[in-house]
Chains A and B, each alone.
Chain A
Amino acid sequence: MIQKAPPFRKLRGYAFDPSLSQKIDTAFINLLTYKIPWEENLKEGPIGEYVEVIDYDPTTQTWYIPVDLNNNYILAQDGLFPSESNPQYHQQMCYAVAMTTIMNFEKALGRPIMWSPHQIFQNKNNQTSSDPEYVKTLRIYPHAIRDANAFYSPQKKALLFGYFSTKSNNTNDLLPNALVFTCLSHDIIAHETTHAILDGIHSKYSEDTNPDVLAFHEAIADIVALFQHFTFPEVLTHQIAKTRGDLSTQNLLGELAQQFGSAVGNYGALRDAIGVTDKDTKIWHAKVPNGLEYQNEKEPHNRGAILVSAVFDTFLTIYRNRTADLLRIATGGSGILPEGYLHPDLVNRLAKEASKSAQHVLNMCIRALDYCPPVDITFGDYLRGIITADIDLEEEDSCEYRLAFIDSFRKRGIYPEGIKSLSEDSLKYSAPVAQNIGSSVSVLSDFLRKFSNEMAFTFDRKIIFDITKKYIKGDIQGNNENDFFALHSRIAGKFSTREFEKLTGLVFSETYKEFGVNPSPSYGTAFPSFYIRSLKLASRVGPKGNKTNQIIITLSQNAHFVVVKEDSGKVHFQPRGSSLNEEPENHPLTLMGGVTLIFDLDKMSLKYCISKPILDQDSLPAGMKINEKRILALYNYLTGYKANSSAFAAYFVPEQGTTLLEPFSMLHRL
C-alpha cells in the first residue's frame, strides 16, 4: 500500500473576525475551512517551513501551550473550533491565514518566497561589513502587545499582534470590556503577513523617501487582505443570494469590501476610498473619483487609500465584463433581473466569476512587484510594473484587464513620471537601448545560465538562499574569493563604464566621491560601494501556456550629501566628506538610487532596466551630474515631513528621515 500525504490540511477559521460570529445575520458566513498545503514536518506551535507561531505573552511573562495540529482529535475535525478564549485556536488561525497569504504570493510569483535576511555585522580582515543571514521562518507572536495594534517588525522578522479591551461606548457589537484579539482577524493577519513578504522582496520599501512608499506598503497589504476574501466563493455566494437587488449596479462587492475592513476597527480605513453610505437613505454608493486625488492627498494613509480604490475599481470593471453575458442569459437578454430570489445556479456562477476575477487581479498585483524599482517606489511606477509584467506573460490583452487598470489609475490622477501618454505601449517599460552594453551582457550570460541551471530544480529555500548568496558575494564559507568570480565583483569590474552608468543611473566610476558615494568595503578605494539586493530566477507560465524565464537583479546605492541652505533660501547639496559640512545648520541627506535589471534567459538579453537614478541620465555619457530633480524632491519631502508624522513619531522618532526600526508599528494603530 502506498502511503501518500494528503494535499491539504484543513483548518477551520473565521472568514473575517470573531465579532461577525456574534451577529445573527453574519454568523453563518463567518466560518470557513482554510485549505493549507500539507506540511509533513509541522511541529507544535505550529512551526512549519515558513512560519513559527511562538505564543509568549511578555505583558504577563507567560507561555501558552502550543497547539499540535497533528494531534488525532484535531486532525479529525479540521482543526480546533474557532474560539476566542482558547489561545491554541489563536495559534491555529494565525498559521492558517499566514500560510494562505504566502501561498497566494508563491502562486503569482512562481518561486518560493523568502523573508528579508537578518543583517548582521561580519568582521573580516579587520573590515566590518554587513552580512545577510538566512531567515527560515517568519515568527508570529499572537499575544505580543497590549494595544489596539499589530505590526510586522523588519528588525525581528516577526509579526506582533496586540490585544485590547473595548469600552462600552465604542461599539454595540462587543461586550463592554471584552477583549479583542487582533490575531483572530483574517484581514489583520493577511495584512501583516503581506508586509513581511513585501519586505522580503523589496526591503527598501520600508524607508520613507516619498509620500508613496509607506502608503504603497500599506496599500499592497490591504489589497492582498481584501482580495483574499473574494477568493473564497463561499462568502460571496451567501451575500450575492441575500442582496440580489444590488447586483445590477455591482454595489454589493464594494459595500462588502468595506464591511470586511470595518469589522476590525480602522484597519479597513484604506477602503473608505471605495465608497460611502448615504446618511439618510442608508444606501451605499461608490465614490466617483475626481482625478485630483493623487495630486492633492499627501498623508500616507489617504494616499494608500487611492491605490486600494484604483485596484478595486479595476476589479469591478473586470467582474462586470465577465458577468455581462451571464446576466443577459439569465434575463432573456434584457439584463434586468426579475423580482424574487435569484436562481441558485446564477448565484453560484456569479460568485465564481467574482472569485476568479479577484484571483486574477491579485495575481497581477503581486506579479508586478518583480517589475518595480528596488527603492523609492511611486504608484506610477507600480502601474508600469503591472502593465509590463502582464504583457510579458500574455501579449494580447484579450479581456482588457490592462485597460481596466490603466483606466482606473487615470481616473484618480495617478500618472507615472515622464510618460507622454497613458497607453499600454508607453506604460510598458521598453528594452534598454545602450551601446556597448550588449558585449558586457554577453560576458554575464554564461554566469547567469550557470546560476539558472543550479537554481532550476531547487526548491529548498535554504539552498536557494545559499546559492544566491554565493552567486552574489562569492566566498560563502570563507573560501578564497578568487575561486568564484561572483556577480558583485563582476559588476564592479566589468560594468564601470559610462554606458552602464547611463543605463542604471548609478555611480560606478572612480569619481564616485563627488556624488557622495562611499568606497566599497570589499575592493578598496578604487571602487564605489553598491549593494546587490537580489538575484532571482523567475519562471512563469501564462494563462495560454507561454513560458517566461527571467533573471531579476536589483542593485542599490546610497549617495550621502549635506544640505547647504543659502541666505536667499536656495538650497544646494554637497557630497558628505567634502569641506563645509561642519556647519551645524547643514543637515545630512541620503539619496538612494537603485535599479531592477530583468534578463531574458532564453534570448540572453537585458530586457528591462527600471531605474531610480542618482545621476542625471540625460547628461550621460558625456558628463556626470547629480540627479537634481530626485534629490530636490527628497529634500522637499523630508523637510515637509512633520506635517505627516503622528504625535508618537513627533516625540519618539530620533530625527526626520532617519531609518525607523519599526516603521509599521506607528502606521497601524487601530
Chain B
Amino acid sequence: MADPNSPKIVVRMYKTGTGDFFLLRIDKMDGKKFNILLDCGSYKFDKTRLDEIIDDMHALTDGIIDLLIVTHEHEDHISGFETAKDKFSKLITFKNVWFAWTEDKDDPFANDLREHHSKIRLAIYNAYEKVSKLMDNENLRTLYQGERNYADIKHLKETFISSMDWLNSLNYVTPPAHQIAGTTMVDKFRSWGIIKDDTVVEFREPGEIYNGFSEIEGIRFLILGPPKNLKDLFDEGKTDDYYKKREKPSGFNFEFIDALVNDKEGTAISYPFETDYIVTDFQKYMEKYTNQEKWRSIESDWLLNVGNLAIRLERCLNNTSLAFALQLKSNEHVLLFTGDAEYGNWSSWYNKLFWDIQTNGITSQRDINYLLKNTVFYKVGHHLSQNGTPKEKGIDLMTSPVFAAMVSLDLDIIHPKWRNTMPCDYLGAALIEKTKGNIYFSGDHNKIINNIQTARVNISRKNIDQINSVCKPFLDKNFVEVEIN
C-alpha cells in the first residue's frame, strides 16, 4: 500500500525516436495513480507504434491523464498529438493542461513575443521562397553550368533547401506573420481535440509553486522557466559556461529581417543610403556585370543567411520551454524537467528566483542551487546536445549521490543534421559519471555510448556495465522506466 506522505513516482519514457514522450505516475492517497503526460513528439512517428503506445497508456491510466504538461512548440515535443489526434481524443481524457505563459493570449508580453517570432518566421519564409526560386535548377544551370564544381553547387543547394525544410517543419505552431496571426498552442491543441470544453487550461510562470492537486499532497511543482524577459529568452549562451565551446552567440539580425519583411505601416525595405546615390539607369550595369560574368553574380548569397536566422529562431523557441521541478515533500528529492531550455532559460533561474519551501514545518526561501543539489532525476535537455545543459550553472551543481537521468535520443530516428550535435561527448561523459551509469536512452544505448566515446573524454568500464544493466530489461519493450522516491 502506497504511503501518501512519501509517494513513489514512476517515470516512463516511451521509445518513439528522438523526441520527448514521458508518462509520470504518482501514488495517490486512494492507492491509484495520478497520471502526468509530458509532451508527445518525435522526429518521425511510426503510426502503428504510436497507436500501440497509446493503447498501452490507455490500459495503464484507464484513459485519464490528470495533467498534461506541454513544454514548447517544437515538432519533437508535440507532433504526436496531431499524428494520433483521433486516438487521443477518443481514448484519453485530459483533465488539466499546462502551458508556459508564452501561450497566454491575455498576456501582452506573450502576445508581443509571439508577434516577434511570427515576424521572424515571415522573414524566413520570404527568404526561403526567394532563395528556392533563385536557386532552382534552371537558374543554377544558367549561372553555373560551365563551372568545374557544378555538381557540388547543386549538392550544396539541395542540402541547404532540405535543412531549411527541416528547420521550418520543426516550428510546429508559430505561423508566418501574414498567415493567421496569434495562433497559440492552446488553439492547436483545441483543434486536435486534446483540449475539450471541460479541460482546465492553465499557464505557468517562473517562481510559482503549485500545491493544487489534493490527490498528491506529497508533491509540489516548482516552475523555473521560461523567463519573462527578452534578454534571457534570446540568450543562447555564452561560451565559457557551456558544453559548447565552438561558436559565438549571435544576435537577431534586424537589417536582414528588414530587407525581407515590410513593417506594420507597409513601408518597404529600408535603404542604407540616401536615394541620391542610387543609379536610375542601371540597365547598362546589369548588362555588363550581371549578364556577362554570371558566375560572379551575388543575387542569392545574402539570402543564405536565412539559415542563421532559422537556427536562431529554433533556439529561441527552445528557450520558451516550460521548465519545472517536481519535489517529493518528504525527502526533498527533486525531479528536473527542462524541456529543451537553452542557456538563457537556465541562467534566468539564478536571477532573483525564490520559492518558499516548507520542510519539517519550517518555511524558508530556497533557490535553484537547492533544487539542483537535491535533484535525483534529470530529464536531459535537448536530447543530450551541447546547448541543452550548461556546465557550471547545471551539471556541476547536481551533486546528489543518488542520481538517474533519461535521454530522449535515438540515433536511428533522428534528422541526420542533428547527429552533428547529438550526443555531445563532454556532456554525455559528465552525465554518465554523475549518474554512475544510471542513465536511460530511448534509442540503442550502445550506439549512443559509442558516439560519446571520443578521444577527448573518458568513460569507465564500470559505468558502461551499469548502463548496460539498467537498459537491458527494456530492450524488447517500447519504453524505459525508472522509479523515484
Interface residues of A (CB under 8 A from B): 54, 56-60, 62-65, 85-88, 118-121, 130, 139, 141, 143-149, 153, 155-158, 160, 162-165, 167, 170, 177, 179, 181, 266, 299, 636, 640, 642-648, 650-654, 658-659, 661-662, 665, 669
Contact = CB atoms under 8 A, between A and B. Distances in A.
Nearest to A149: B305
B159 interface: yes
Interface in B433-485: 454-456
In the A-B complex, the 9 residue pairs with the closest CB atoms: A650-B420, A119-B148, A63-B279, A145-B302, A146-B255, A130-B148, A59-B259, A146-B256, A63-B282
Interface of B: 146-150, 152-153, 155-156, 159-160, 163, 167, 245-248, 250-251, 253-256, 258-259, 269, 271-274, 277-279, 282, 285, 289-290, 295-302, 304-305, 307-308, 311, 417, 420-421, 425, 454-456
Given A64-B278, A648-B311, A120 B454 contact: no
Contacts of B247: 646-647
B305 A147 contact: yes
5 contacts: A59-B256, A86-B277, A144-B298, A149-B305, A155-B295
A65 B277 contact: yes
Contacts of B153: 155, 661
A23 B142 CA distance: 49
B301 A643 contact: no
Nearest to B281: A63
B298 A158 contact: yes
A653 B159 contact: yes
Contacts of B279: 62-65
Given A146-B259, A165-B254, A60 B271 contact: yes
Nearest to B275: A62
Residue among A160, A167, A642 having the largest count of chain B Cβ atoms under 10 Å: A642
Contact of B271 (A62, A65, A644, A658): A62
B421 A650 contact: yes
Contact of A651 (B259, B269, B290, B417): B417
A164 B455 CA distance: 39
Interface hub of A63, A146, A647, A662 (most chain B Cβ within 10 A): A647
A156 to B, nearest CB: 5
B298 A640 contact: no
From B247, B278, B425, residue with most partner A Cβ within 10 Å: B247
B148 A163 contact: no
A662 B250 CA distance: 20
Contacts of B160: 652
A652 to B, nearest CB: 5
A63 B283 CA distance: 10
Residue with the greatest number of chain B CB neighbours at <10 A, chosen from A58, A177, A661, A662: A58
B45 to A, nearest CB: 22
Contacts of B307: 648, 651-652
A181, A644, A646 — most chain B CB neighbours (10 Å): A646
Contacts of B420: 642, 645, 650-651
Nearest to A166: B251
B147 A121 contact: yes
B273 A87 contact: yes
A155 B298 CA distance: 11
Contacts of A662: 301
Given A146-B305, A158-B296, A651-B307, 8 more contacts: A57-B272, A59-B269, A64-B273, A88-B277, A121-B150, A149-B305, A643-B454, A650-B420
A647 B274 contact: no
A513 to B, nearest CB: 23
A644 B167 contact: no
Nearest to A659: B152
Contact of B250 (A65, A88, A157, A669): A669
Contacts of A643: 246, 425, 454, 456
Contacts of B289: 54, 56
A145 B417 CA distance: 26
Contacts of B305: 145-147, 149
B163 A299 contact: no
Nearest to A644: B246
Nearest to B259: A59
Contacts of A65: 277-279
A652 B273 CA distance: 32
B163 A652 contact: yes
Contact of B296 (A60, A139, A149, A659): A139
Contacts of B159: 652-654
Contact of B167 (A86, A130, A636, A651): A651
B147 A640 contact: no
A85 B273 contact: yes
A498 to B, nearest CB: 32
Contacts of A63: 278-279, 282, 285
Contact of A654 (B156, B167, B258, B273): B156
B248 A645 contact: no
Contacts of A162: 302
A661 B302 contact: no
A58 B298 CA distance: 7
Nearest to B145: A121
Given A56-B289, A58-B301, A164-B255, A661 B273 contact: no
A65 B281 CA distance: 10
A58 B311 CA distance: 23
Contacts of A58: 298-302
A145 B311 contact: no
Contacts of B148: 119-121, 130
Contacts of B269: 59-60
Contacts of A647: 247, 311, 421
Nearest to A119: B148
Contacts of A86: 273, 277
B147 A146 contact: no
A146 B269 CA distance: 12
A119 B149 contact: yes
Contacts of B155: 654, 658
A158 B247 CA distance: 25
Nearest to A654: B159
B147 to A, nearest CB: 6
A167 B271 CA distance: 18
B480 to A, nearest CB: 26
A654 B162 CA distance: 10
B302 A85 contact: no
Contacts of A665: 304
A364 to B, nearest CB: 32
Contacts of B163: 651-652
A170 B159 CA distance: 34
Nearest to A145: B302
Contacts of A659: 149, 152
A650 B417 contact: yes
A163 B278 contact: no
B64 to A, nearest CB: 41
Nearest to B271: A60
B320 to A, nearest CB: 18
A163 B271 contact: no
Contacts of B308: 147, 648, 669
A127 to B, nearest CB: 14
A162 B290 CA distance: 19
Nearest to B283: A63
A646 B452 CA distance: 18
Contacts of A143: 272
Contacts of A54: 289
A146 B302 contact: yes
Contacts of A147: 253, 255-256, 302, 305, 308
Nearest to B166: A651
